[in-house]
Amino acid sequence: MKIMPLEQRGISTSRIILGCMPFGGGWNKEPITQDHIKEAEKAVDAALSIGVTMFDHADIYTMGKAEETFGRILKNRPDLREQIVIQSKCGIRLKDDISPERFDFSKEHILKTVEGSLKRLGVDYLDVLLLHRPDPLMEPEEVAEALGKLKASGKVRYFGVSNMSVAQIKFLQQAMPDQIAVNQIEMSLARLDWVDQSVYVNQKAGVSTNFSEGLMEYSQMEKIQLQAWGPLAQGKFSGKSLENEPERFRNTANLVGEMAKDKETTVESIVLGWLMKHPARIQPVIGTVNEERIKACDDAERQSQLMTREEWYKLYHSARENQAK
Protein backbone atom coordinates (compact mmCIF):
# COMPACT_ATOMS: atom_id res chain seq x y z
CA MET A 1 0.00 0.00 0.00
CA LYS A 2 1.20 3.50 -0.85
CA ILE A 3 2.34 5.38 2.24
CA MET A 4 2.08 9.07 3.09
CA PRO A 5 4.90 11.44 2.11
CA LEU A 6 5.60 12.19 5.79
CA GLU A 7 6.09 8.47 6.41
CA GLN A 8 8.47 8.36 3.47
CA ARG A 9 10.52 10.99 5.29
CA GLY A 10 10.63 8.90 8.47
CA ILE A 11 7.81 10.55 10.41
CA SER A 12 5.52 7.89 11.82
CA THR A 13 2.12 9.52 11.98
CA SER A 14 -1.61 9.02 11.61
CA ARG A 15 -3.76 9.54 8.51
CA ILE A 16 -5.88 12.07 10.41
CA ILE A 17 -4.65 15.10 12.38
CA LEU A 18 -6.42 16.78 15.27
CA GLY A 19 -6.45 20.54 14.78
CA CYS A 20 -6.07 22.29 18.13
CA MET A 21 -7.31 25.76 17.12
CA PRO A 22 -10.34 25.63 19.51
CA PHE A 23 -8.24 24.80 22.58
CA GLY A 24 -8.07 27.32 25.40
CA GLY A 25 -11.36 29.15 24.99
CA GLY A 26 -11.96 32.26 22.89
CA TRP A 27 -9.67 34.52 20.87
CA ASN A 28 -9.13 36.89 23.75
CA LYS A 29 -6.85 37.48 26.70
CA GLU A 30 -9.10 35.83 29.25
CA PRO A 31 -7.25 33.22 31.34
CA ILE A 32 -7.33 29.51 30.61
CA THR A 33 -9.64 27.69 32.99
CA GLN A 34 -9.67 24.13 34.28
CA ASP A 35 -12.76 23.55 32.14
CA HIS A 36 -10.78 24.53 29.04
CA ILE A 37 -8.04 22.08 29.97
CA LYS A 38 -10.51 19.26 30.67
CA GLU A 39 -12.30 19.93 27.39
CA ALA A 40 -9.02 19.83 25.45
CA GLU A 41 -7.81 16.71 27.24
CA LYS A 42 -11.03 14.89 26.41
CA ALA A 43 -10.55 15.86 22.76
CA VAL A 44 -6.95 14.61 22.83
CA ASP A 45 -8.02 11.31 24.40
CA ALA A 46 -10.82 10.92 21.86
CA ALA A 47 -8.28 11.46 19.08
CA LEU A 48 -5.83 8.97 20.57
CA SER A 49 -8.64 6.43 20.92
CA ILE A 50 -9.12 6.38 17.13
CA GLY A 51 -5.41 6.26 16.37
CA VAL A 52 -4.73 9.96 15.81
CA THR A 53 -1.15 10.77 16.82
CA MET A 54 -0.53 14.11 15.09
CA PHE A 55 -1.66 17.43 16.57
CA ASP A 56 -1.74 20.72 14.66
CA HIS A 57 -1.14 24.11 16.29
CA ALA A 58 -0.26 27.69 15.43
CA ASP A 59 1.20 30.40 17.60
CA ILE A 60 -1.88 32.60 17.05
CA TYR A 61 -4.58 30.03 17.85
CA THR A 62 -6.78 31.53 20.60
CA MET A 63 -3.97 34.09 20.94
CA GLY A 64 -1.46 31.52 22.20
CA LYS A 65 -3.81 29.80 24.61
CA ALA A 66 -4.23 26.71 22.41
CA GLU A 67 -0.54 25.84 22.67
CA GLU A 68 -0.47 26.69 26.37
CA THR A 69 -3.48 24.46 27.04
CA PHE A 70 -1.86 21.58 25.17
CA GLY A 71 1.34 22.23 27.11
CA ARG A 72 -0.48 21.84 30.40
CA ILE A 73 -1.83 18.49 29.24
CA LEU A 74 1.69 17.36 28.34
CA LYS A 75 3.01 18.55 31.69
CA ASN A 76 0.57 16.26 33.46
CA ARG A 77 1.27 13.42 31.02
CA PRO A 78 4.99 13.68 30.11
CA ASP A 79 5.10 10.20 28.52
CA LEU A 80 2.70 11.41 25.83
CA ARG A 81 5.26 13.62 24.07
CA GLU A 82 7.23 10.80 22.50
CA GLN A 83 4.03 9.07 21.33
CA ILE A 84 2.80 11.97 19.22
CA VAL A 85 3.80 14.33 16.41
CA ILE A 86 3.46 18.06 17.17
CA GLN A 87 3.14 20.54 14.35
CA SER A 88 2.86 24.30 14.73
CA LYS A 89 2.86 27.35 12.46
CA CYS A 90 4.29 30.85 12.46
CA GLY A 91 4.16 33.94 10.29
CA ILE A 92 0.77 35.58 10.94
CA ARG A 93 0.75 38.63 13.18
CA LEU A 94 -2.67 39.61 14.47
CA LYS A 95 -4.01 43.16 14.38
CA ASP A 96 -2.90 45.30 17.29
CA ASP A 97 -2.95 48.96 18.35
CA ILE A 98 -0.05 49.74 16.03
CA SER A 99 -0.52 47.69 12.87
CA PRO A 100 -3.16 45.73 10.93
CA GLU A 101 -3.07 41.97 10.59
CA ARG A 102 -0.02 41.09 8.53
CA PHE A 103 2.48 38.37 7.68
CA ASP A 104 6.04 38.26 8.93
CA PHE A 105 8.57 35.77 7.59
CA SER A 106 11.54 37.76 8.88
CA LYS A 107 14.30 35.77 10.54
CA GLU A 108 13.77 37.59 13.83
CA HIS A 109 10.04 36.88 13.93
CA ILE A 110 10.35 33.21 12.95
CA LEU A 111 12.96 32.53 15.65
CA LYS A 112 11.05 34.48 18.29
CA THR A 113 7.77 32.76 17.44
CA VAL A 114 9.22 29.25 17.64
CA GLU A 115 10.76 30.02 21.03
CA GLY A 116 7.34 31.15 22.21
CA SER A 117 5.64 28.03 20.90
CA LEU A 118 8.18 25.74 22.54
CA LYS A 119 7.74 27.55 25.85
CA ARG A 120 3.93 27.40 25.74
CA LEU A 121 3.92 23.75 24.70
CA GLY A 122 6.61 22.89 27.25
CA VAL A 123 8.63 20.88 24.73
CA ASP A 124 12.20 20.96 23.45
CA TYR A 125 11.38 20.63 19.76
CA LEU A 126 8.62 20.72 17.16
CA ASP A 127 8.33 17.80 14.79
CA VAL A 128 7.05 20.07 12.01
CA LEU A 129 6.96 23.86 11.59
CA LEU A 130 4.82 25.45 8.88
CA LEU A 131 5.01 28.97 7.50
CA HIS A 132 1.44 30.18 8.04
CA ARG A 133 0.13 31.40 4.65
CA PRO A 134 2.27 33.28 2.09
CA ASP A 135 4.04 36.50 3.02
CA PRO A 136 4.25 38.86 -0.01
CA LEU A 137 7.42 40.36 1.50
CA MET A 138 9.13 36.97 1.91
CA GLU A 139 12.89 36.87 1.31
CA PRO A 140 13.67 33.16 0.71
CA GLU A 141 17.29 33.46 1.81
CA GLU A 142 16.29 35.08 5.10
CA VAL A 143 13.66 32.41 5.73
CA ALA A 144 16.17 29.67 4.91
CA GLU A 145 18.66 31.18 7.35
CA ALA A 146 16.09 31.13 10.16
CA LEU A 147 14.94 27.60 9.43
CA GLY A 148 18.53 26.40 9.14
CA LYS A 149 19.28 27.76 12.59
CA LEU A 150 16.21 26.02 14.03
CA LYS A 151 17.21 22.73 12.42
CA ALA A 152 20.83 22.96 13.58
CA SER A 153 19.74 23.67 17.16
CA GLY A 154 17.39 20.67 17.16
CA LYS A 155 14.34 22.84 17.80
CA VAL A 156 12.51 21.81 14.59
CA ARG A 157 12.82 18.54 12.68
CA TYR A 158 10.91 19.24 9.45
CA PHE A 159 9.52 22.29 7.68
CA GLY A 160 6.50 23.06 5.56
CA VAL A 161 4.14 25.76 4.38
CA SER A 162 0.43 26.45 4.22
CA ASN A 163 -1.77 27.77 1.41
CA MET A 164 1.14 28.15 -1.01
CA SER A 165 1.14 27.71 -4.77
CA VAL A 166 3.62 25.67 -6.80
CA ALA A 167 5.51 28.85 -7.76
CA GLN A 168 5.70 30.06 -4.15
CA ILE A 169 6.98 26.68 -2.96
CA LYS A 170 9.63 26.57 -5.70
CA PHE A 171 10.66 30.15 -4.93
CA LEU A 172 11.22 29.25 -1.28
CA GLN A 173 12.68 25.82 -1.95
CA GLN A 174 15.53 27.10 -4.11
CA ALA A 175 17.02 28.82 -1.07
CA MET A 176 16.55 25.93 1.35
CA PRO A 177 18.81 22.89 1.86
CA ASP A 178 15.94 20.98 3.52
CA GLN A 179 13.08 19.90 1.30
CA ILE A 180 9.66 21.33 2.11
CA ALA A 181 7.71 18.45 3.64
CA VAL A 182 4.15 19.77 4.02
CA ASN A 183 1.63 22.11 2.42
CA GLN A 184 -1.61 22.65 4.34
CA ILE A 185 -4.48 23.97 2.22
CA GLU A 186 -8.28 24.06 2.26
CA MET A 187 -9.71 20.91 0.68
CA SER A 188 -13.13 19.33 1.11
CA LEU A 189 -16.16 18.02 -0.71
CA ALA A 190 -17.51 21.58 -0.56
CA ARG A 191 -14.31 23.18 -1.87
CA LEU A 192 -13.52 21.41 -5.15
CA ASP A 193 -11.00 23.67 -6.87
CA TRP A 194 -8.22 21.34 -5.70
CA VAL A 195 -9.84 18.63 -7.84
CA ASP A 196 -10.66 20.74 -10.88
CA GLN A 197 -7.30 22.54 -10.86
CA SER A 198 -8.31 24.69 -13.80
CA VAL A 199 -8.31 28.46 -13.39
CA TYR A 200 -10.45 28.70 -16.53
CA VAL A 201 -13.04 26.25 -15.25
CA ASN A 202 -13.24 27.87 -11.85
CA GLN A 203 -13.55 31.39 -13.26
CA LYS A 204 -16.24 30.22 -15.64
CA ALA A 205 -18.06 28.55 -12.77
CA GLY A 206 -17.88 31.71 -10.71
CA VAL A 207 -15.81 29.97 -8.05
CA SER A 208 -13.18 32.07 -6.33
CA THR A 209 -9.97 30.11 -6.03
CA ASN A 210 -6.33 30.64 -5.21
CA PHE A 211 -5.56 26.97 -5.71
CA SER A 212 -2.50 26.53 -7.86
CA GLU A 213 -2.96 24.52 -11.03
CA GLY A 214 -0.79 21.41 -10.94
CA LEU A 215 -0.28 21.48 -7.18
CA MET A 216 -1.63 17.95 -6.68
CA GLU A 217 0.77 16.46 -9.22
CA TYR A 218 3.72 18.57 -8.07
CA SER A 219 3.17 17.60 -4.45
CA GLN A 220 3.10 13.91 -5.29
CA MET A 221 6.24 14.14 -7.42
CA GLU A 222 8.13 16.07 -4.73
CA LYS A 223 6.78 13.96 -1.85
CA ILE A 224 5.13 16.95 -0.19
CA GLN A 225 2.48 15.96 2.33
CA LEU A 226 -0.82 17.64 1.55
CA GLN A 227 -2.85 18.39 4.66
CA ALA A 228 -6.47 19.50 4.34
CA TRP A 229 -7.84 22.15 6.67
CA GLY A 230 -11.62 22.40 6.77
CA PRO A 231 -12.04 18.81 5.48
CA LEU A 232 -15.50 18.40 7.01
CA ALA A 233 -16.64 21.67 5.42
CA GLN A 234 -17.91 22.99 8.76
CA GLY A 235 -20.42 20.17 8.98
CA LYS A 236 -22.20 20.90 5.69
CA PHE A 237 -22.55 17.19 4.96
CA SER A 238 -22.67 15.90 8.51
CA GLY A 239 -25.59 17.51 10.27
CA LYS A 240 -25.31 21.27 9.91
CA SER A 241 -28.45 23.15 8.87
CA LEU A 242 -28.35 23.77 5.11
CA GLU A 243 -31.32 26.10 4.96
CA ASN A 244 -29.34 28.88 3.28
CA GLU A 245 -26.92 26.68 1.35
CA PRO A 246 -27.04 25.83 -2.39
CA GLU A 247 -29.22 22.94 -3.50
CA ARG A 248 -26.14 20.96 -4.53
CA PHE A 249 -25.00 20.90 -0.90
CA ARG A 250 -28.38 19.68 0.29
CA ASN A 251 -28.39 16.96 -2.37
CA THR A 252 -24.86 15.94 -1.46
CA ALA A 253 -25.67 15.80 2.25
CA ASN A 254 -28.55 13.45 1.44
CA LEU A 255 -26.25 11.31 -0.69
CA VAL A 256 -23.61 11.17 2.04
CA GLY A 257 -26.30 10.11 4.52
CA GLU A 258 -27.53 7.35 2.23
CA MET A 259 -24.00 6.04 1.70
CA ALA A 260 -23.27 6.09 5.43
CA LYS A 261 -26.46 4.16 6.13
CA ASP A 262 -25.75 1.58 3.42
CA LYS A 263 -22.18 1.11 4.62
CA GLU A 264 -23.14 1.15 8.32
CA THR A 265 -20.75 3.96 9.12
CA THR A 266 -20.83 7.67 9.97
CA VAL A 267 -21.35 10.60 7.65
CA GLU A 268 -18.03 12.05 8.87
CA SER A 269 -16.22 8.89 7.75
CA ILE A 270 -17.79 9.11 4.30
CA VAL A 271 -16.85 12.77 3.86
CA LEU A 272 -13.27 12.23 5.04
CA GLY A 273 -12.99 8.89 3.23
CA TRP A 274 -13.86 10.64 -0.04
CA LEU A 275 -10.99 13.09 0.50
CA MET A 276 -8.55 10.42 1.66
CA LYS A 277 -9.13 8.23 -1.38
CA HIS A 278 -7.12 10.63 -3.50
CA PRO A 279 -3.72 9.09 -4.40
CA ALA A 280 -1.88 12.05 -2.82
CA ARG A 281 -2.63 10.43 0.56
CA ILE A 282 -4.14 13.64 1.94
CA GLN A 283 -4.13 14.15 5.72
CA PRO A 284 -7.36 15.77 6.94
CA VAL A 285 -7.04 18.17 9.88
CA ILE A 286 -10.23 17.95 11.93
CA GLY A 287 -10.60 21.05 14.09
CA THR A 288 -13.00 20.30 16.92
CA VAL A 289 -13.12 19.61 20.66
CA ASN A 290 -16.31 17.59 20.33
CA GLU A 291 -15.45 14.06 21.46
CA GLU A 292 -18.26 12.38 19.57
CA ARG A 293 -17.44 14.22 16.35
CA ILE A 294 -13.81 13.16 16.66
CA LYS A 295 -14.75 9.53 17.28
CA ALA A 296 -17.16 9.66 14.34
CA CYS A 297 -14.10 9.98 12.07
CA ASP A 298 -12.74 6.60 13.18
CA ASP A 299 -13.86 4.71 10.07
CA ALA A 300 -12.61 7.26 7.53
CA GLU A 301 -9.48 5.46 6.36
CA ARG A 302 -11.34 2.16 5.91
CA GLN A 303 -14.07 3.92 3.95
CA SER A 304 -11.45 5.50 1.71
CA GLN A 305 -10.22 2.02 0.87
CA LEU A 306 -13.72 0.61 0.33
CA MET A 307 -15.04 3.53 -1.72
CA THR A 308 -15.33 2.70 -5.41
CA ARG A 309 -14.42 5.04 -8.24
CA GLU A 310 -18.10 5.24 -9.11
CA GLU A 311 -19.02 6.29 -5.58
CA TRP A 312 -16.22 8.85 -5.47
CA TYR A 313 -17.33 10.46 -8.73
CA LYS A 314 -20.97 10.33 -7.70
CA LEU A 315 -20.18 12.47 -4.66
CA TYR A 316 -17.94 14.74 -6.72
CA HIS A 317 -20.58 15.44 -9.36
CA SER A 318 -23.27 15.93 -6.74
CA ALA A 319 -21.19 18.52 -4.90
CA ARG A 320 -20.45 20.52 -8.06
CA GLU A 321 -23.86 20.19 -9.69
CA ASN A 322 -24.82 23.16 -11.90
CA GLN A 323 -21.24 24.40 -12.01
CA ALA A 324 -19.25 24.51 -15.24
CA LYS A 325 -18.30 21.02 -16.40
Report helix angle 267-276 to 309-319, nearest 10. 100
Question: What does the DSSP 8-state code read for residue 283?
Answer: E
**Rounded-to-integer distance, Cα 314 and Cα 221, Å:** 27
Query: What distance in Å separates the CA atoms of residue 149 and residue 134, rounded to the nearest whole number?
Result: 21
- Alpha carbons 161 and 185: distance in angstroms, whole number: 9
Q: Cite the active site residues.
A: 61
Answer for the pair 180, 200: CB distance below 8 angstroms, yes or no: no
Residue 159: beta bridge partners?
129
Cα 278 → chain centroid? 16
